[in-house]
Amino acid sequence: MKAALIGEKLGHSYSKWIHEISFEKQGIVASYDLLEISKEDLKNKGKSILSLYDGYNITIPYKVEILSHIDVISEEAKRIGAVNTLVKKGKQWMGKNTDYFGFSKLLESIDINLKDKEAVVLGTGGASRAVITCLADKGCSSIYVVSRFPSSVDASMLSFLEQEKAVLCDYKKLSSLQAELLVNITPVGMFPHNEKMPIESKIIDSFNVVIDIIYNPIETTLLLEAKKQGKKTANGLMMLIYQALKAEEYWLGREIEEEKCKEIIICIENQLQKIYSL
């Protein structure tokens, strides 16, 4: 089997490494490539690009744009309005979303109860739709989605936010919000700009739990500041791994046992510890 990740800038991506470890641990003969594709090439050559591999992951900025190049969309991806996994069904491509599953497993890993609690999401791009949908399903009483330019948010996103009963606001509103959970979906703080933070450190005090779905670096400045303030924190690595494993299940047409998932996760975490201790 040959699979690939389609994105615009993939220099920071761990996806190839994660899938190769997973394939090895499962005894699967498969390859995984990174395809940096320009917006123009995706628009003009989308169909031919999709003829090269047996399965695909899709990352920013193409999780919505890819919809015009596929034949079928699954129910969960239709609700979310974004696709991050393509599965071949005969001669057709089906779009699925495994970000939802990955984020749900991340929440499970930190043992957080969000029923009747408020949550704040920073950013409207990338995996924000899957995260917002998951938070709604977890029973959040209110979900605030913060954008630097709310007036520039497109009609599709506005319709999605209304569907999930999420409230769009700007960063000025952030200082008056208090919630159980803060989730950063923006790339602010991602390698190589590790020193940056999407918010001022004083705002962190308004939240009990802080999640940054960035996974490179393993601890962003946002998470380090939150930890200093005694907050429960989590990065996006667990989400990344579980969404990758769910994609493999779709490609291979079989489930990966939970014990095997844990074995793969431990292997990845151990290798990362070695890398970051060098």
CB 60 within 8 A of CB 126: yes
- For residue 204, the Cα-to-chain-centroid distance in whole angstroms is 22
CA–CA distance, 267 with 264 (Å, rounded to integer): 5
Find the farthest-apart pair of alpha carbons in the chain and give their distance in angstroms, rounded. 53
Q: Check whether 7 is labelled as a binding-site residue.
A: no
Q: Check whether 13 is labelled as a binding-site residue.
A: yes
From the list 145, 143, 139, the residue with the least C-alpha distance to 114 is: 139
CA–CA distance, 50 with 34 (Å, rounded to integer): 13
Q: Check whether 243 is labelled as a binding-site residue.
A: yes
Residues 6+ apart with CB under 8 A from 193: none
Active site residues: 63
Q: Check whether 108 is labelled as a binding-site residue.
A: no
Q: Check whether 75 is labelled as a binding-site residue.
A: yes
Q: Check whether 253 is labelled as a binding-site residue.
A: no
Look up tokens 């670096």; give the residue: 217
Q: Check whether 15 is labelled as a binding-site residue.
A: yes
Alpha helices in 110-175 (DSSP H): 128-137, 155-163, 171-174
Q: Check whether 213 is labelled as a binding-site residue.
A: yes
CA–CA distance, 271 with 98 (Å, rounded to integer): 24
Q: Check whether 137 is labelled as a binding-site residue.
A: no
CB-side neighbour CA atoms (13 Å) of 226: 26
CB 143 within 8 A of CB 114: no
Burial degree of 136 (CB within 10 A; 0-12, 13-18, 19+):
middle
Feature table: binding site = 13-15, 59, 75, 84, 99, 213, 215, 236, 243
Feature table: binding site for shikimate = 13-15, 59, 84, 99, 215, 243
Feature table: binding site for NADP(+) = 75, 213, 236
